[in-house]
Amino acid sequence: MIKLVVFDLDNVIIDGEAIDEIGKLANVEDEIAEITEKAMQGEIDFETSIKDRVKLLEGTSVEDIQKVADELPLMNGAEDTIARLKEEGLDVAIISGSFDIVAQTVKDKLGIENAYTNSFTVEDGKLTGEVTGPLVSGSKLDVLKEHIEGNDTSLEEVVAVGDGANDISMIESAGIGIAFNAKDSVKEKADVVVDEKDLTKVLDEIINQLSTDVVEDDETEQVEEAEEKAEESTEEAEKPKKDGLPESDFVLADTMEGVRKQKDEKEAEIAKVTEEREEFNRIAKEQRKIRDELNASLKENLNKAIEFRNERNEINKQVEEAKKARNEANNKIRNLEWSSGKRDKIKIENEIKKIDKIIETRVLDIKKENQLVKNANDLRKQLMEIHEDESVKGEAQDLKKLSEEEHEKVIEFSEKAQAAHEETLKYFRKTDDIRTAADEAHKKFIEARKNASAKHEEFKSILSDIHVINKKLGSNRPRKRRSSSNKSSSSNGNKNREEKERAEEIFDKFKHGGKLSTEELLLLQKYNIN
């Protein structure tokens, strides 16, 4: 049985993220939106995210924030949903990591009594950048438990509606958890998923559940009891609403024979409707089982995809480390080679090449050609006098070997990373297929449950008509005469007399305001004492 419906605020009751809108006042909306998204995905804890975001708002005017709160649009269907839930007698509350300025405005608009949020710290009408409240470091489940404590409400009697990672604690623990346009991590934990920005879809789920609560395994027994009471007592038949039955406007036939025929027709009708309802309930249970199994498989495959993704990311870190080590070794090699005289050798060799090319390709007078040959020979003498540092040369060889080893690691780790990446994609694609199938099963479950609910309403209407018929038949049934003596033995006669005396005592008890058991009521009826 549902007693309480608790909603998140941002992107659930209101169509938007309040702190993102407030961030526009301080020109930090991009920074805040980035932190918000990480928090919603569960990449950073909520306490860190809320403190970091509020710090960015330091100096923002409270007056300006109130204007933003006034202009924030309600989610489509919010007013109708809250109004209907209250009509059904359900308690409605907001539990949100958002802020009291916004929540108070929403409470006033929708007539919601309880809202649990955080608060900005304010000095001289401006934000200090600090935040306080029960949801800075505490979980929404903790707040929910505190709310229901002493209210004669259990977690099983709660519907929790949310969209972000910080809603998971209450969605998992509530009797019914609803993911509303939520992140995948939230959908995995929810009993119901709504992917439309329309709160009336959430309302439909809750109303269907309220109807389904009536159509449980003990329903048949309750209905049979109601029918027995209708046949045994006209007084009970006059109280259909107490049994949850609608008022009947059934028109009785003019004759008792006609009334009895009407009863036969109604009993055949209710048997057919009962069969149809049970078939829809069977389909709903079947599709729910399929959905739950698919969701379990979805979770398993998603975990596999995340596992391979994490493995890929770790291997890529190794790739980067190997690349860094390889590049550092290559840089050291180049520096050593230049410092050991190689720079001068290369320079001289290039000069000699230039001179040789001129001599080979140009027509020169003998004097100029001789001068070039002499210059080339001088350079060759200089080249022969340059000796590389052998120790440096050895160090360079070691570094070259290290560079080659690190390059081999780069290749090896890159291949492993690619394999992990392919596995990641495989499981993500499989996850998408499973999610599609789970969504389809959920749609069939909802459809079957709606049909079962409709058949149950039809069932109750027919049952109400049967009560009217039974009342008519009961009031025209000849009263059975009871005697203190009959064809049985004298011991039975004594027993009857004792029962009758007991019945009279019970009636005296009743006259003086005493409460009677079912057994005592039956005894009064048996001896027609009134």
pLDDT tens-digit series, residues 354-388 = 988 888 888 888 888 888 888 888 888 877 766 55
Give the residue from 117, 120, 91, 86 showing the smallest Cα distance to 103: 117
Give the residue from 491, 496, 495, 502 showing the smallest Cα distance to 481: 496
Residue 491 pLDDT greater than 60, yes or no: no
Tens of pLDDT, residues 265-284? 988 998 999 899 889 989 98
519 Cβ contact partners less than 8 Å away, ≥ 6 residues apart: none
- Between CA 170 and CA 175, with CA 172 as vertex, the angle to 5 degrees is 85
Q: Provide φ and ψ at 251, rounded to 5°.
A: -100, 115
Label residue 210 exposed, middle or buried (CB < 10 Å: 0-12, 13-18, 19+): middle
Give the residue from 131, 97, 127 showing the smallest Cα distance to 115: 97
pLDDT band at 184 (very low <50, low <70, confident <90, very high): confident
Query: Could you tell me the end-to-end alpha-carbon distance of the chain, in angstroms, rounded to an integer?
Result: 38
- Between CA 363 and CA 373, with CA 367 as vertex, the angle to 5 degrees is 80
Give the residue from 65, 67, 49 showing the smallest Cα distance to 122: 65
pLDDT band at 477 (very low <50, low <70, confident <90, very high): very low
Q: How much is the pLDDT for 385?
A: 67
Q: Which residues are catalytic?
A: 8, 10
Q: How much is the pLDDT for 117?
A: 92
Q: How much is the pLDDT for 439?
A: 87
- Give me the amino acid identity at 505: E
User: Could you give the CA distance from residue 380 to residue 476 in angstroms, rounded to a whole number?
Assistant: 138
- Give me the amino acid identity at 467: H
pLDDT band at 234 (very low <50, low <70, confident <90, very high): very low
Q: How much is the pLDDT for 530?
A: 56
Tens of pLDDT, residues 195-231? 999 999 999 888 877 765 554 444 445 445 544 544 4
User: Could you give the CA distance from residue 127 to residue 31 in angstroms, rounded to a whole number?
Assistant: 18
Q: How much is the pLDDT for 231?
A: 47
- Between CA 257 and CA 265, with CA 261 as vertex, the angle to 5 degrees is 170
Cβ 7 vs Cβ 93: under 8 Å: yes
Region 133-152: what's the mean pLDDT?
A: 85
What is the distance of C-alpha 46 from the center of its chain?
Answer: 16
Tens of pLDDT, residues 385-409? 665 555 666 777 788 889 899 999 9
Pairing mode, if any, of strands 158-162 and 4-7? parallel
Q: What is the DSSP letter of 6?
A: E
Q: What is the DSSP letter of 88?
A: T
Helix (H) or strand (E) holding 5: strand 4-7
Q: How much is the pLDDT for 512?
A: 59
Pairing mode, if any, of strands 114-123 and 126-132? antiparallel
User: Could you give the CA distance from residue 468 to residue 472 in angstroms, rounded to a whole number?
Assistant: 6
